Chain A
């Protein structure tokens, strides 16, 4: 099976966000594999181990993205591709990303594409479905279970807490939800092996893409932090009195009851 994983690097979840000049300050921040993409990597490896084939991890990013790709290789992916747009693109949006991936997949035989259901930074969740649409393959988002038998694919999909049982066929694109699996940590031998695994670097020219073809269709005009929340009131006194006071405050001061 030819399995592909769409991967994005994101800020570590512990990072404090700093805005300067209308943009998020990235200098010095720790980057990780987007947590939902980790589920995708894990699932790809499991499916390959069960059905055979090869797992290729693809990311669009800059030279620093190699770190996250090596991590995925250390987890057990076979190959990695970095589409480096640092030189070519100043701006991009989900349309841009999807168009580049469409070009990448143009000459590939694909059975299964996995992605995170959302990236924790920009959180649009658009790229997976957009890519599937451009490749004209079906997609199922927020999956929590995947089993493949021949070309029949059985999926459990999280729908705001309920579970839909879905049947579809390969080739298919799925986006992964928490609960699908428990991503493994790279092992030491895995990390050693990963250094020797193939990591191809492509630029837009290699994909015959002209910058104008992938010009974003949206623009960010401002980035700002939410207003700092003032510390609230910790109530005092007998517990029973505190509880009564809280209910009164919610009713009369906060007016939420």
Chain B
């Protein structure tokens, strides 16, 4: 019998997050010949989501539907996923290293009495043993880790392990698991949306980040426009957040978010070591800064020394031309 890996998928506003598809690809790396079972929990409309997991490479999918799964709580989703784990007895578990993944995975690992590798960016296999690479010290170094006791359980960082090609000719069984969710000790009473619609900063392929050089909350407006043209998200340095130009939810750095987009455009950011920790592993880095000596130019692939208030509007126009052509 082949090994079975559960992929705990995650939804946001009714849609599957891209990291869930990446998790399927990660499961395939861990067990190339294994059976991948996608798991999705919600309060309704699960068939389509389950089907989508199969199109992205899951061999079959299991759904858990319950009214108490409307919003994520560690207890509600913990009980749901544990019921699936009970039924499936998996040989490994993969999920995204997202707000939900970070919250839920340690609970599951503790219940299952197993090790857990958080925030993996790469997976190799040494014989039969999966070896996980993960950043430490905010990306200033990396470690390779293995699980020595219990089943391989890993959360993967978004944007690092490529999802498999979607193929809607793929088919697989979809089944459901009934679960009796006990009273929850924590309840979500409200969700206040502070992020801009659309692109999620941690999953964005393009990030446009502003620093103190942006000078004001108003100064961020062109950055939003640039991000919009590129289908990206806006981030910020700690300096910009401390100065109240934008919300802390946008902060990238040692404290704040760690992002690894394909393209990172640092605008008016000097490049303090704490900021670099949050973005230095981006694939391509562009720096725009008035100060030619700014540290950010040391790690940028391309730099423009100039006034951001001139450069950014020009960039918007140029990118628009590319988008049209």
Q: Are B136 and A247 in contact (CB under 8 A)?
A: no
Kindly state whether residue B144 has any CB partner on chain A within 8 Å.
yes
Q: Are B110 and A130 in contact (CB under 8 A)?
A: yes
Q: Are A242 and B304 in contact (CB under 8 A)?
A: yes
Q: Give which listed residue, A94, A169, A247, contacts B185 with CB less than 8 A.
A: A169
Q: Give which listed residue, A17, A139, A140, A218, contacts B116 with CB less than 8 A.
A: A218
Q: Are A217 and B135 in contact (CB under 8 A)?
A: no
A91 smallest CB distance to B (angstroms): 10
Q: Are A167 and B115 in contact (CB under 8 A)?
A: no
| Complex: A141 Cα to B98 Cα, angstroms | 12
Kindly state whether residue A146 has any CB partner on chain B within 8 Å.
no
Kindly state whether residue B192 has any CB partner on chain A within 8 Å.
yes
Q: Give which listed residue, A17, A93, A159, contacts B115 with CB less than 8 A.
A: A93
Q: Give which listed residue, B118, B186, B284, contacts A168 with CB less than 8 A.
A: B186
Instruction: Categorize the interface residue count of chain B.
Output: 35 or more
Chain A residue at minimal CB-CB distance from B258: A123
Q: Are B139 and A235 in contact (CB under 8 A)?
A: no
Stretch at the interface among B28-36, B48-56, B247-255: B247-255
Q: Are B187 and A218 in contact (CB under 8 A)?
A: no
> Which B residues, 161 to 216, have Cβ-Cβ distances below 8 Å to chain A?
185-195, 200-202, 206
Q: Are B315 and A246 in contact (CB under 8 A)?
A: yes
Q: Are B115 and A256 in contact (CB under 8 A)?
A: no
Q: Give which listed residue, B111, B117, B319, contacts A218 with CB less than 8 A.
A: B117
| Contact residues of A: prevailing secondary structure | mixed
| Complex: A118 Cα to B103 Cα, angstroms | 11
Q: Which residues of B contact A63 (CB under 8 A)?
A: none
Q: Are B304 and A246 in contact (CB under 8 A)?
A: yes
Q: Are A250 and B115 in contact (CB under 8 A)?
A: no
> Which B residues, 287 to 307, have Cβ-Cβ distances below 8 Å to chain A?
287, 292, 297-306
Q: Give which listed residue, A11, A132, A233, contacts B302 with CB less than 8 A.
A: A233
Stretch at the interface among B60-68, B87-95, B146-154, B217-225: B146-154
| B interface, CB within 8 angstroms of A | 71, 74-75, 98-99, 102-103, 105-107, 109-111, 114-119, 131, 135-150, 185-195, 200-202, 206, 230, 247-251, 254-256, 262-263, 273-274, 277, 280-281, 283-287, 292, 297-306, 310-311, 314-315, 318-319, 321-322
**Given A13-B254, A13-B277, 7 extra CB contacts under 8 A:** A123-B137, A126-B116, A160-B249, A217-B116, A222-B143, A232-B285, A242-B311
Q: Which are the 7 A-B pairs with shortest beta-carbon distances?
A: A217-B115, A161-B249, A129-B106, A218-B115, A161-B195, A126-B106, A133-B110
